Amino acid sequence: MVSNRSRYAVGGTAAKASSRLALVAAIGLGGLVASAGANAQSETTDQPRGSTLCTKLPVPCDAVIAHRGASFQAPESTTPAYRLARELGADYLELDLQRTKDGELIAFHDNALGRNTDVAKVFPDRADAPVSAFTLAELKQLDAGSWFNETYPERARDSYVGLDILTLDEVIDIAEGGDNRPGLYIETKVPEQFPGIESDLRAALEARGWAGDSTTTSEPAAEGAVDVADGPGRVIMQTFSRQSLAELETSLPDVPRVLLLWLGEGGIDAAPSDPQGDTESVADYYARQTVASPEAYAEWIDFAKSHGAVGIGPSTVQQDHDGTFSSQFSYSDLAEPWMIGMAHDEGLLIHPYTVDEPVDFERYRERGVDGFFTNRPAALLEFYGRGAGDPSTILNDLGY
């Protein structure tokens, strides 16, 4: 396939080509220090500040993507986190896909189990082993909830003790289990550790009517409720891996796909910078990193486009990133205005991760993003004017 930069010329859209070249030149002046000038250009030329792409794709506009569920209020990737997100009215339940030793697909973020289970107590000799070294039966012995109570006592609940790690089927059951019918936003996690996981996922989704020629087999959403799972955008795939994006293009060609963006090793080339200071937080260190060049960013945009992606998922900087929780989710800003303009010009949606506060919702919405990954779907729904209800009350009503 002809690259996107070349396509401007061969396609005859010289004005668009000139716009992008001018943008790259403007950003390049002073080695990205002049990005403010490029930002101003995006506001005074045809660089988009918003997007109507969601009206042309099977993806909700202003998408609310519940990152590992409603994971600010409940332990990530567990039943209460996903049920709360569903009841609040999130468009998508987000999950990280891994495969157990005996071939079962599960929802779990970390490569290892130590941060958010009691693996050191249950399997002390294997505490540092990867998730893939355990069978599903072994993983089901672990407590995936108590860590949350210990880390965030102000949001602790007795019912979180002893929560299970969930299978993909169990997350689908939750998505299908209420009046609202959210879709699934699935990341192939460290796919190089799980050869063929894309094909396994296709088989699992088809068996449940979530991919292929069939449609979901359960009852449709209630009138006026979230109905993403009833439409063609019921599943979105996401990955940081170029190889996995290519595999997904083959395995799930009809499922929308998003390329996640990261700065540094394994991702977009970063500009040289000073090492992390002795007293500098990880979040502060990430916040001052910048891309090596506009061309380095464009390379990933072009790869996404040439492999059939409908969007990108860039990292963001949170204005307040010093808290115990917020510091985990603030990275480098790969959703600057010129970057969003570049992606929108290529017809790509932008779903940045992971944004939790109204001040950041507003900042990135002004730049033109098309939705957010968030740990706080209630806050994002309220920001979008979609009343969500009180999370604590909903958790009580759900029996937690």
Work out the number of other CB atoms within 10 angstroms of the CB of residue 208: 17
Whole-number Cα distances in Å, 23 to 17, 162, 231, 342: 10, 53, 37, 9
CB-based contact 109:189 (threshold 8 Å): yes
Q: Do β-strands 183-188 and 92-99 pair in parallel, antiparallel, or remain unpaired?
A: parallel
Query: In the annotation, is 67 catalytic?
Result: yes
> DSSP secondary structure string, 75-133?
-TTSHHHHHHHHHHT-SEEEEEEEE-TTS-EEE--SSBSTTTS-HHHHSGGGTTSBGGG
Closest to 210 (Cα-Cα) out of 246, 173, 247: 173
CB-based contact 343:302 (threshold 8 Å): no
DSSP 70: T
CB neighbours of 375 closer than 8 A, spacing ≥ 6?
A: 66, 67, 68, 70, 71, 72, 325, 329, 354, 356
Q: Choose, from 67, 321, 344, 351, the residue flagged as catalytic.
A: 67
CB-based contact 340:365 (threshold 8 Å): no
Q: Could you give the 3-state DSSP secondary structure of residue 238? A: strand
- Angle separating helix axes 197-207 and 242-251, nearest 10 degrees: 40
Q: Choose, from 109, 321, 344, 351, the residue flagged as catalytic.
A: 109
DSSP 34: T
Token readout for 138 is 């072994």
CB-based contact 51:148 (threshold 8 Å): no
The residues annotated with a catalytic role in the active site are: 67, 109
